[in-house]
């Protein structure tokens, strides 16, 4: 029907930008009205418009990128259940059920149907991280302790919490009664609803101004043009079958076996196939998920990292993955840590393509979702519950043209950021003692890996700590083209009265007042031979306390005077000569 519509270039460009602007406005509304710091500070959410078939029209820039593959499946499932005639203006649905959503239960989808002249035209949807959804979900679920979804929290399966504008108070009461932090989660629910309702109004304004046929024609044209652009970029990659492997740390539930990641990327003209069938089958622990996000993020990064995302972004991509894979797990596999493996999957896909794109592919980055610190409990003086959470970034890999970026969250997390010190201390009885770059954590290379971060906190009242910073300790961020590995992550705890810290991963661990915890996140891998890094750059790294004098000598062959901090050019030339000779002798 839309093929006969004549779409002038000006109208097309207006709509190309107007539709994503609605998603951006949704994000602004959500962030400004939410109650939970994981939304308004960390930005662990996404906002999107989908058409009546569940195809992605647009998604906000920022927020969480690894939600991109898992919005359409929610809407398609709802349409299959209710039928297109089963929605009315004013409906609001809620969904986090893992049989379709495939994520930990904290990631709650709230969405509304969009109508024009009585016809269903699409859906506005917000997925956001709730501070609590019952069970063991506070902050974020504990994958080692959760053996099924019922332990994790409250499962909400395509429930209409508002029908034709009338809230279902009984259902809302059930949700409210199963949540510890009712004010935060129910406030976030209202914020999500308001964001979606604003989007339905904006959607209606566009349809009223331009008409249904013009809007549909523009959306199809945008999809087609996005697909063509992706195909052009893929066509520039040499044809071939490219493979790589890595692994995740043992999860403790399957005989302490490491979790294999094996990928195959097939480039055939402008077609791309990412084969993930060699990855681990689903696990007994909560590291499972049900998502194509790993493949989608890698492909999007290669074909249009700065472009708006829509259904056309992935039309030319085929993902081979079998039912029962740990990233396509069968319900009711536990999914408390559904996204932990995704950054490594993305890194491994890029690693496979490094021979084909030697001047493009970076070394591996931090490889997990960052250092998460969650502290919660009940204030004995006021009787009020509290929860505070932050996600600390790590290092990205060195690139063929410059150093890796320091202290950024993973490639799967978009514009997620850590919580400000002031907010952390305001939300819970904790003191932030230190937040600093982690010296020597970036992998050595001609272009050094980015640095991780060290964040240390002390709780002032009794409460529970959960620290998540694992996943790639046995398989640290690797270097490329001769670069060295980044330094792996570690968590520490120091109990009151202890002299030093001990490595420890607290999970819902009750701690006395005065307990100190610290996350030290991983650095990125290095790119290129460290002996090719200009000595002046290494001297500057030492002066800025990014690299120690000892590392400068051992890793880069650069001699720095310990007393003056001055570069010793003659000693550097001699040291590098000896190191190169030693390499030749080993070869």
User: What is the 3-class SS of 271-288, one letter each residue?
Assistant: EEEEECCCCCECCCCCCC
Token pair of 452 as six digits? 């991780």
What are the start-end ranges of the E strands in 103-150?
A: 107-116, 119-129
| R_g of the chain, CA atoms, integer Å | 25
- Tell me, yes or no, whether 95 and 37 share the same domain: yes
CB 449 within 8 A of CB 440: no
Whole-angstrom distance, CA of residue 224 vs CA of residue 323:
30
Contacts of 20 (CB under 8 A, 6+ apart): 58, 59, 60, 61, 308
- Tell me, yes or no, whether 418 and 544 share the same domain: no
Whole-angstrom distance, CA of residue 158 vs CA of residue 160:
7
Helix (H) or strand (E) holding 458: strand 453-459
CB 408 within 8 A of CB 362: no
| Residue 267 maps to a domain | no
Domain that holds residue 566: 534-586
Return the closest-CA partner of residue 455 out of 427, 430, 482, 474: 430
Whole-angstrom distance, CA of residue 295 vs CA of residue 320:
10
What pLDDT is recorded for position 509?
94
pLDDT beneath 50: ranges in the chain = 1, 3
Whole-angstrom distance, CA of residue 465 vs CA of residue 510:
7
- Tell me, yes or no, whether 68 and 14 share the same domain: yes
| Residue 253 maps to a domain | no
Token pair of 84 as six digits? 């297109």
- Tell me, yes or no, whether 566 and 487 share the same domain: no
- Tell me, yes or no, whether 196 and 87 share the same domain: yes
Which one of 492, 517, 533 terminates a domain? 533
Whole-angstrom distance, CA of residue 73 vs CA of residue 571:
61
| Residue 25 maps to a domain | yes
Q: What is the dihedral of CA 410, 413, 416, 417, to 10 degrees?
A: -10
Q: What is the dihedral of CA 252, 255, 256, 258, to 10 degrees?
A: -110
CB 122 within 8 A of CB 50: yes
Q: How many helices (H) and strands (E) does the chain have?
A: 13, 20
Cβ density class 458-482: b for 16+ within 10 Å, e for less: bbebbbbbbbbbbbbbebbbbbbbe
What pLDDT is recorded for position 1?
44
- Tell me, yes or no, whether 509 and 574 share the same domain: no
| Residue 320 maps to a domain | no
Return the closest-CA partner of residue 193 out of 68, 26, 310: 26
Whole-angstrom distance, CA of residue 298 vs CA of residue 103:
19
Q: Is 511 exposed, middle or buried (0-12, 13-18, 19+ CB in 10 A)?
A: buried
| Residue 222 maps to a domain | yes
Whole-angstrom distance, CA of residue 413 vs CA of residue 420:
18
| Residue 520 maps to a domain | yes
Which one of 192, 226, 260 terminates a domain? 226
- Tell me, yes or no, whether 568 and 472 share the same domain: no
- Tell me, yes or no, whether 62 and 121 share the same domain: yes
Token pair of 138 as six digits? 């506070």
CB 554 within 8 A of CB 542: no
Task: Report DSSP state, residue 135.
Answer: T
Which one of 533, 548, 573 terminates a domain? 533
Number of domains in the chain: 3
Q: For 110-114, which contacts have Cβ atoms below 8 Å and span 24 or more sequence positions? A: 110/189, 110/192, 110/193, 110/196, 111/74, 111/75, 111/78, 111/196, 112/193, 112/196, 112/197, 112/199, 112/200, 113/87, 113/88, 113/89, 113/200, 114/49, 114/199, 114/200, 114/203, 114/204
- Tell me, yes or no, whether 472 and 573 share the same domain: no
Contacts of 228 (CB under 8 A, 6+ apart): none
- Tell me, yes or no, whether 461 and 568 share the same domain: no
| Residue 345 maps to a domain | no
Whole-angstrom distance, CA of residue 217 vs CA of residue 179:
44
Sign of CA dihedral 212, 95, 413, 516: positive
Percent of residues in the chain assigned helix, strand, coil, to nearest 5: 30, 25, 45
| Residue 296 maps to a domain | no
What pLDDT is recorded for position 144?
74
- Tell me, yes or no, whether 508 and 548 share the same domain: no
- Tell me, yes or no, whether 526 and 561 share the same domain: no
Contacts of 548 (CB under 8 A, 6+ apart): 439, 440, 542
């Amino acid at each position: 029907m839309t093929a006969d519509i004549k779409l002038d270039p000006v109208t097309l460009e207006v709509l190309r930008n107007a539709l994503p602007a609605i998603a951006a406005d949704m994000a602004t509304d959500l962030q400004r009205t939410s109650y939970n710091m994981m939304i308004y500070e960390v930005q662990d959410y996404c906002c999107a418009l989908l058409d009546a078939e569940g195809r992605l029209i647009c998604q906000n820039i920022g927020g969480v990128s690894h939600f991109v593959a898992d919005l359409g499946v929610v809407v398609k499932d709802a349409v299959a259940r209710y039928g297109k005639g089963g929605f009315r203006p004013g409906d609001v649905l809620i969904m986090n059920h893992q049989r379709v959503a495939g994520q930990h239960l904290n990631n709650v989808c709230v969405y509304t149907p969009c109508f024009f002249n009585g016809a269903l035209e699409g859906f506005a949807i917000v997925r956001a991280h709730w501070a609590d959804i019952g069970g063991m979900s506070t902050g974020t679920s504990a994958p080692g302790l959760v053996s099924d979804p019922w332990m994790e929290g409250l499962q909400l399966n395509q429930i209409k919490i508002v029908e034709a504008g009338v809230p279902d108070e009984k259902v809302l009461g059930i949700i409210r009664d199963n949540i510890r932090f009712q004010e935060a989660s129910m406030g976030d629910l209202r914020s999500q609803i308001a964001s979606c309702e604003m989007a339905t109004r904006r959607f209606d304004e566009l349809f009223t101004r331009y008409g249904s046929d013009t809007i549909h024609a523009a959306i199809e044209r945008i999809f087609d043009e996005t697909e063509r652009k992706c195909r052009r970029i893929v066509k520039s990659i040499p044809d071939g079958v490219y493979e790589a492997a890595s692994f995740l740390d043992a999860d403790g539930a399957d005989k302490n076996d490491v979790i294999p990641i094996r990928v195959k990327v097939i480039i055939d003209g402008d077609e791309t196939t990412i084969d993930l069938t060699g990855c681990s089958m689903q696990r007994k622990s909560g590291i499972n998920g049900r998502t194509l996000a790993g493949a989608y993020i890698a492909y999007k990064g290669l074909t249009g990292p700065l472009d708006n995302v829509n259904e056309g972004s992935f039309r030319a991509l085929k993902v081979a993955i079998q039912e029962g894979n740990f990233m396509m797990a069968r319900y009711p596999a536990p999914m408390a840590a559904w996204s932990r493996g995704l950054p490594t999957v993305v890194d491994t896909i890029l690693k496979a393509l490094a021979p084909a794109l030697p001047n493009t592919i970076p070394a591996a980055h931090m490889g997990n979702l960052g250092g998460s610190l969650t502290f919660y409990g009940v204030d004995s003086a006021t009787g009020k519950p509290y929860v505070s959470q932050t996600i600390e970034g790590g290092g990205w890999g060195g690139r063929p043209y410059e150093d890796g970026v320091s202290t950024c969250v993973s490639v799967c997390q978009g514009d997620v950021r850590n919580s400000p010190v002031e907010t952390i201390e305001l939300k819970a009885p904790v003191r932030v003692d230190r937040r600093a770059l982690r010296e020597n954590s970036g992998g050595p290379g001609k272009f050094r890996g980015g640095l991780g971060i060290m964040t240390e906190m002390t709780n002032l009242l009794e409460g529970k700590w959960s620290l998540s910073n694992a996943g790639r300790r046995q398989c640290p961020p690797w270097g490329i083209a001769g670069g060295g590995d980044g330094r792996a992550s570690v968590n520490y705890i120091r109990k009151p009265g202890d002299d030093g810290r001990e490595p420890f991963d607290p999970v819902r661990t009750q701690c006395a007042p005065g307990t100190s915890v610290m996350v030290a996140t991983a650095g990125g891998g290095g790119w290129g031979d460290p002996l090719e890094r200009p000595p002046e750059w290494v001297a500057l790294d030492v002066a800025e306390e990014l690299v120690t004098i000892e590392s400068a000598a051992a890793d880069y062959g650069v001699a720095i005077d310990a007393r003056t901090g001055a570069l010793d050019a003659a000693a550097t030339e001699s040291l590098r000569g000896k190191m190169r000779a030693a390499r030749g002798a080993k070869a």
